[in-house]
Amino acid sequence: MNMNLRLKTLLLMGLSFVCLFMTLYYTSQHALMNSLLELEDNAAYPAWVDIPRDFHNYVYVQSRTNITYLLILLSIISLGFGVVSLLIVEKLVISRLVQLGASVGGIELDKDSLGRVSMSGDDELSQLAQDINGMLAALEESQARLRDVERMAAIGETAAMVGHDLRNPLQVIVMTLDLIKRKCDSIFVSRAQMPEELRSVKGMLEKIGDQTRYMNKIVSDLQDYTKPMEPRFAETDLRRLLRDTVSTIKIPEAVDVVENFDVSTCLLLDQYLMRRMFSNLILNAVQAMPDGGVLTLKCYEADGAVYVSVGDTGEGIPEENLERMFEPLFTTKAKGTGLGLPVSSRIVDIHGGDIVVESEVGVGTTFTVRLPFETCRPVGGPCDARGRGEDEVLLGDGQVSRQDKEVRVAT
Amino acid sequence: MVVDDDESILEVFQTLLRSEGYSVETADNGRQAIEKAKEARFDIALLDIVLPDMRGDQVAVEIKKHDESIRIIFITGYPSFQNCIDALDIGVSEILMKPVTSEELLTSINHALFASSPEAESLVF
């Protein structure tokens, strides 16, 4: 292909040169012959002019020699121009096209990052390189989306399988535990009559119950993540929602909580989802400080948005893990589904906001949630003054999936 | 009647409901459930949506053909939106998510039975 282009250019210029040469040659010959014919016409000369007999022949030979030299000179000049033109075309077009072709050919389509082609200058070729880069960016984006869809589909299949295959044994465990407890209670009507040993057995049963609920939460998280969210927005007093969320979380005594809520605007939020998201961030922060520390909760308005930050003074997150924090099923915790942050991110996403994480190993981590006024539509005025946002606040325990609640479809 | 393809579930549900004074029949597949519904009258059927031979909603439709007054409660590990639509069409009393606690199950049963006919007596599962 590249050689073809070079060969074609060479052929084109060669052809142009031959055509030019022949045109000039035949035109000059024609002109020369016409001149000679005119000279041979005696009537063209005054009578007193004595024309030597071989004068015409002499003029013809001299003129022809001059024309031949002139043509040779013109040919050399044309060839020189041709070679220079070829070199310019080679440098400006062909070699850059070859370079562009090599860059495009070197792109590995199965990689996450496709790279970019580079082209200096400010002409059509550099514009073409920019267009190719634009297409590569679009391709990367669609590939990333496709990967997400595939991952979601895989998780969805897993969730469906787990939902059916794991919930059946969970059902048996939960119900059997209930039956054992009922049996214990039926034997000893009052707790005071129950022997100490049996009370400890009931304590053990409670532990099994707790762990079963945790297993159920894992299943619910999986299913929640793969199901489309259907938010119900309601006017919400964010400060109240944050305080209520904190109050439902068991915070160890070794962890000090610092609250600084400086927001009075009502926001339109899905309170259940928001509560779930903040619970998740706060729980993560608490779990990051097993030996205690400071949990900082801030809420403020800036740049047309409300920011809520949840900071800890825990172990921090290594840089290589930071980028993967929001990937589903990615977790560094021994007891984690790797779905908490992806679900949180989706919740903030459907509110038109985003989550930013900053972390330094050994210092701590801060998650900052941005809720823009543009999408969360502030109604204006402090919530307390209007007494709104209270009726729909706080549906159940934020740690329990919505799916844990029964769905009444008809009565 | 309790219909589920998991024998352990049938066993614990039966134990719980019998301890509450209900008479209980079990079926581990859809066809068996339909046959039992033809042979005897039941007040309520607890149906798993995913059964080895039929879907729970198909079983519910067949059972309702024989006994219009029977109440149906779906119990499933993974309800889809379509399940809820089907349940609405059939007139299912409730869809419960596994794992359901004894208290939740008994409350739902009572709700399904007594919400529409407070005088119901001698109930048979």
Q: Give residue-wise pLDDT tens across range A119-134.
A: 887 888 888 888 998 9
With bands split at pLDDT 50, 70 and 90, how would you rate the model's confidence at B73?
very high
The interface predicted TM-score of the complex, written ipTM, equals 0.82
Beta bridge partners of A372: A305
Instruction: Tell me whether residues A182 and B99 touch, CB distance under 8 A.
Output: no
Give the lowest-confidence range in A17-31, A146-160, B31-45: A146-160
Interface contact A404, partner B, CB < 8 A: yes
Q: What is the pLDDT of residue A405?
A: 33
- Chain B environment of A171 (Cβ under 8 Å): 6, 9, 12, 75, 77, 98-100
Residues 161-220 of A with CB under 8 A from B: 163-176, 178-179, 182, 212, 216
**C-alpha to C-alpha distance for B40 and B32, rounded to whole angstroms:** 12
Percent of chain A predicted with pLDDT > 90: 14
Q: How large is the average pLDDT for residues A346-363?
A: 90
Question: Tens of pLDDT along A60-115?
Answer: 788 888 888 888 888 888 888 888 988 888 888 888 888 888 888 888 877 777 78
- Mutation target to probe the A interface, by most A beta carbons within 10 A, among B12, B14, B55, B70 is B12
Q: What is the pLDDT of residue A356?
A: 92
CB-based contact A252:A286 (threshold 8 Å): yes
pTM > 0.90: no
- Chain B environment of A402 (Cβ under 8 Å): none
Give the lowest-confidence range in A51-55, A315-319, B86-90: A51-55
Which residue in B95, B105, B115 is closest to A407 by CB distance?
B95
Q: What is the pLDDT of residue A391?
A: 36
Question: Tens of pLDDT along A132-158?
Answer: 989 988 988 888 888 878 877 777 777
With bands split at pLDDT 50, 70 and 90, how would you rate the model's confidence at A191?
low
Q: What is the pLDDT of residue B121?
A: 42
Q: What is the pLDDT of residue A399?
A: 33
Q: Which residues contact B25 (CB under 8 A, 6 or more apart)?
A: B1, B2, B36, B40, B42, B125
With bands split at pLDDT 50, 70 and 90, how would you rate the model's confidence at A225?
confident
Q: Which of A6-15, A18-27, B54-63 has the highest mean pLDDT?
A: B54-63
Instruction: Tell me whether residues B77 and A164 touch, CB distance under 8 A.
Output: yes
Q: What is the pLDDT of residue A92?
A: 84
Question: Tens of pLDDT along B20-32?
Answer: 999 999 999 999 9
Q: What is the pLDDT of residue A393?
A: 34
Q: What is the pLDDT of residue A387?
A: 41
Q: How large is the average pLDDT for residues A289-295?
A: 91
Q: Is the pLDDT of residue A343 over 70?
A: yes
